[in-house]
Structure 1
Amino acid sequence: MSIDLAWADFAPSLVDDLRARLNARLSDMDLPSYMGQTYIEALDLGTDAPDVQVVHVGDVWREFREAIAPSRTPNVAWTPPRSASVPSRMPMRLRTFRQYDDEMPTSVLSDAESLMSDMDDSLYRGSDTDSDMGTLLHDDPAHVDSDVPSVQVQLSVQWLTSTLRLSVRTSLQIHHADSTVMSLPITLVVTGLELFAQVIVALDGATPCLHLSLSEPSAAPCAPDGLRAAHDPRMRSRHQGERILPYLAVESQIGEPSKHVLENVGKVERFVGHMLRQLLESELVYPHFYTVYL
Structure 2
Amino acid sequence: MSKLFATLISAILLCAISGTTIAAGNSVVTAPQGGVARWAGMAAKDCGIYGKRYAAVGSVCYYPIDIQTSVGSHEIALWDQQGKQHLGYVTVEKQDFPEVPIELPPSLIGFIDLSAADLARAQKETAEVAKVLRGSDHAPQFSLPLGKPASSLPKSANDFGSMRTFNGKVKSLHSGLDFPVNEGSPVKAVAAGTVVLAADHFFTGNAVYIDHGDGLVSMYFHMNSLAVKTGDVVKRGQTLGVVGRSGRGTGPHLHIGLRWLGKRIDPERLLEAPAKLPSVSDSKAAAEQKIRKADHEVPKEGETPLNDEG
TM-score, length-scaled by structure 1: 0.25
TM-score, length-scaled by structure 2: 0.24
Greater helix content? 1
